[in-house]
Each structure stands twice: as structure tokens, then as C-alpha cells.
Amino acid sequence: MDGRLIEAREGELVIEAAQRAGIMVPHYCYHRGLGNPGNCRMCIVEVEGIARPQVSCRFPVKDGLVVRSLSPEARRAQSSALELHLADHPLDCPICDQSGECGLQDYYMGIGRYPSAMREDKFHKGKRIPIGPHVMLDQERCILCTRCTRFVDRVTGTHELGIFGRGHCQVVDLAPGRILDNPYSGNLVDICPVGALTDRDFRFQARVWYLKETVSVCPGCSRGCSIFAHTSTRRPWHNKGKRLARLKPRYNPDVNGDWICDEGRYGFADFDNDRLGKVLRLKPQPEELSWDAALDSVAQALRKGVGEKGADGLAVVASGALSNEDWQAFQRLFAQSIQAKNFLFAPWPDQVGPKDDLLRRSEKVPNLEGGWALGFGQGISSMDWDALAAAVASGRIWGLYVVDRDIDRVWGERTAGLVDRLDLLVFQGPRKYGVSNRAHFRLPATAWLEEDGHFTNFQGKIQAYGQALKPLGAARPDWQIFEELIARWPQGAGA
Ligand code: SF4
Ligand code: SF4
């Protein structure tokens, strides 16, 4: 192909063999997760021995095939197909969210650059049609590649979209009486190669060339989908004042393929809300502390409680949102150094939610597996919420160390009465919950986008994620807080 010798399986599509070899043939309708209808005619190539150009997403490989995708003949055919797609396309680029990552722009600059032959007015279709809670449709930008209709037919099986009309009146539209509200609807924005389907959450918030892309892992459930985090590089971030602009799927055939769910994609829109950034002692008087002063005080309070009342009276509520690095330090602090006996680890009920057969898992935290690998939740877990409430009410538990858990969602109105009985309540985490206001010490931890780390998903796959943002305020990674407390714990001074 294009003068190179490529090995391919007999019957493999030419476009796929080319992609594997690093030759990118222009295409719109073909998508590895959605099939190859061959309707956009962009992937035309010359095949030696065949008089007419062929679409490479419908042409199977056979031994000795000679293909040209860069020849003047192939380029002319690709450029003609592009010109047809653009014949009625509006000149929306300056106001289109797809600008900067648009298949029409990219191919025009790559293989087009023809003078427009159009003298007639363009044919107009519907614009700014909200077709669901997350997606906006612009029918006149659509090139009718059918990726979106194939997605709702083959991937979600929800069939909300169809192609209606004939000839140049053809449009993508909602099926009668339907809205696009399936739990994976945001993927349509990713697969639409042009600006016809845009993200209502992201529209007009940032230009894509001002975004920084970081390899990440979705912390929305125990699937741990591979994602990219796109963060704003300009202040003031973008219009809504957010640092996290959007999350996009990252192809991983072993975990999530090409897709992510809407819960994961849109669930972190409030990433910067209700965050903890100050190191505080809240009781007896609210007071901001330096990290050193706070860690000294927490370590001293833990030592005092363990010394006077025993490690049996300390309970630790862990979170499945911890990274593998956090879990290691967590174990060294609480299980090895302090030798605490009471761990509450189960995700229920504050860290569970809906699941399905495609990607979503009911455990709404990314790394229970990392804790299980260290024995938490099996041998080391000794409590459930009712047992813990009873132990606190009876006075058997004198201290509670809460890592990023929303206890109010579990104990409800009982929470205040129970936690106010404790000699020591430490809350550590990136986000404020009701119980965090009742703690003696409140320690701000980084959220996953503000640190490097690893999650182990429910399949046991370990994935790395990178730091995309600076920590807010004084927040530190959980593992670092645990390590600092270990350093303050006298060796051999466990229960
Ligand atoms: S809306 Fe987008 S994905 Fe759907 S047919 Fe049109 S161009 Fe293709
Ligand atoms: S399935 Fe789970 S891990 Fe994947 S995007 Fe959704 S919430 Fe995130």
C-alpha cells in the first residue's frame, strides 16, 4: 500500500490494515466499534487492476493486493467526496464547538483546498435542537454518516434516532415521541465526526485548542474506564469558572472499548464544588492549622486514645476511591502501626448506584479491588454500619477516622448524636460532607485529577492516571497524609 509492504489477514478490510500500518485513509462513516456502511465515500483508494476507485472500508484484503491512497487519482476522488459533503454545509466554524477537532476542517486542510464551485444558496435545515439532556443536534452540519443511528441501534439498543426524508432533504432526527436520554448518550458527541451533535454541557465553554489533555481513569465506578481529562489552560478557566472542562473516552479494548457512560462523563461537572482546601481543627474552637501542627495533634490524639482506651476502640471508615498508593500507606498506618481492629470498608450504601450490562457497575468508586488485595473487606473488615453505630452509642468506640465517606447518607438524623459522643473524629478527603463539619480535625486530600496514581478495577486491571490539575488550597494526596502520621507514630507502639 502506497509503496509499502503490509502484512494483513486475508479478508481484513483495507482501511483497517492501513490503519494498523499507520496509514490513515480519510473516513467518516467507518468506525471500529460501529461497522462500515460505506456511505460517506471518503475512504476511496485506487486498487491496481480495477478500473474504478474503491471504498477501502468495504474492500477486503487479499494476497498481492496493490493499493494507492495517496495517488492523484485517489486524492481527487477523496477530495470530490469531501466537496459533496461540504456543498450544503454552513460556514459555522467560528461558532461551532467542533472547530479544532472537526473531520471536515481537518480533511479540507489535508486533502481539499479546492476553490468552491458553489454559487447557489445553501440548503438550510434545523439548528440548535436539544434532543436530550446532554446532546444538541444541528441538522445542517450533519453529513449523514449514520454513526449516531448505528450507535443507538447496535450499542445501546435504544433506537432514539433515525434518518428521515429523501435526497438533499434527508435529516437525522429523533424517532417520534422519543428523546435521547439513554445512559450512554454523550458518546454520540464523540463519534459524530462533525459539529452536528455537540455537548450541551460543553457548548461555548472553551475552545478545544486551549485544553490540556491528560491520561486518566474514570473514578465513577469499579469499571475504571480509560479516559482523557481535558482541563482549561487559560484563566479564568472557562465561562462557568471550572478547571475541568470535559472527560472523553480513551480506547481500551480490555476495559471500556470506545465508550464511557454519562454518569462518568458528566458526574464530575462539580469537580471544584464543596472542596476542602484548609487544614482545620474544628473543636473545641475552629482554627486553621499548618499541616505539621495538624498532623502532630492528630497523631497525639490517636496515641492518647490508643494508650488510654486501646486500639480496639478506634474505628476506621475507608473509601473505595483511594488509589493503590493510598491503600498501601493506609494499611501501614492503620493495620500495621496503630493495629486498629475495626474497619468499615463495604461500599454500601453511600457508594453504590445503578448498573447495566454494558459498562456501568453498581460500586460507584474506582478502587475497591486495591483494598481487597490488601485484605480489607474480607479478613480485616470487621464491621457493618449498624454494628459501628451500636458500638459508638455504647461508648465502645472512642475514635473514628473517616476517609472520604458520606456518613450522613447512611446514618441520617442519627449521625450528629452518634459522632458527638466520640473523643476523636478525624475527617480526611477531597470533599465536604455533613459529617466533616462535626469532626475534631478536617484534613483536605487531593482529588484524583490532582495527583498521580493507580486504580485496580473490578477485573483486576491496574491502570495509571496522571495529575491534570494543581491541588486546591493545602490539599495533599491521601498516601502522603498517612505517611506523615506513620512517621509520627512511635515504632512498636501499636495496641
Ligand atoms: S449527526 Fe453526526 S454522527 Fe449522526 S449522521 Fe450526522 S454526521 Fe453522522
Ligand atoms: S462505566 Fe463507570 S468507570 Fe466507566 S465511565 Fe461510567 S462511571 Fe466511569
pLDDT in tens, the chain (495 residues): 999 999 999 999 999 999 999 999 999 999 999 999 999 999 999 999 999 999 999 999 999 999 999 999 999 999 999 999 999 999 999 999 999 999 999 999 999 999 988 888 999 999 999 999 999 999 999 999 999 999 999 999 999 999 999 998 999 999 999 999 999 999 999 999 999 999 999 999 889 999 999 999 999 999 999 999 999 887 655 556 789 999 999 999 999 999 999 999 999 988 999 999 999 999 999 999 999 999 999 999 999 999 999 999 999 999 999 999 999 999 999 999 999 999 998 888 889 999 999 999 999 999 999 999 998 876 666 789 999 999 999 999 999 999 999 999 999 999 999 999 999 999 999 999 999 999 999 999 999 999 999 999 999 999 999 999 999 999 999 999 999 999 999 875 554
Q: β-strand 171-174 against 197-199: which pairing, if any?
A: unpaired
Ligand number, closest to the Cα atom of 256: 2
* Separation CA 126–CA 131 (nearest Å): 12
* Residue 490 pLDDT: 87
Q: β-strand 342-344 against 314-317: which pairing, if any?
A: parallel
Distance 145 CA to ligand 1 centre (A): 5
Q: What is the DSSP letter of 263?
A: H
Asked if 103 and 194 count as a contact pair (C-beta separation under 8 A), the reply is yes
Instruction: State yes or no: cis peptide before 286, omega within 30 of 0.
Output: no
Collapsing DSSP states into helix, strand and coil, what is residue 45? strand
| In a domain? residue 385 | yes
- Residue whose grid cell is 483486576: 460
Distance 352 CA to ligand 1 centre (A): 35
| In a domain? residue 291 | yes
Q: What residue owns the CA closest to ligand 1's atom 2?
A: 192
* Residue 397 pLDDT: 97
**Domain's final residue, options 86, 105, 127:** 86
Q: What residue owns the CA closest to ligand 1's atom 8?
A: 145
DSSP string, 259-273: ---HHHHHTTTTTTT
| In a domain? residue 218 | no
| In a domain? residue 296 | yes
* Separation CA 222–CA 218 (nearest Å): 9
User: Model-level pTM?
Assistant: 0.94
Provide residues with CB under 6 Å of ligand 2.
218, 220-221, 223-225, 256, 260-261, 263-264, 359-361
Does 197 contact ligand 1 (Cβ within 6 A)? yes
Amino acid found at 358: L
| In a domain? residue 114 | no
Q: What residue owns the CA closest to ligand 1's atom 6?
A: 142
CATH for 332: 3.40.50.740
| In a domain? residue 482 | yes
| In a domain? residue 21 | yes
How many domains is the chain built from?
2
| In a domain? residue 75 | yes
**Domain's final residue, options 56, 86, 116:** 86
Ligand number, closest to the Cα atom of 261: 2
Which atom of ligand 1 lies nearest, measured to the CA of 28?
8
Ligand number, closest to the Cα atom of 363: 2
Which atom of ligand 2 lies nearest, measured to the CA of 217?
3
**Domain's final residue, options 33, 53, 86:** 86
Q: Give me the domain span that covers residue 482.
A: 280-459+466-487
Ligand number, closest to the Cα atom of 189: 1
CATH for 48: 3.10.20.740
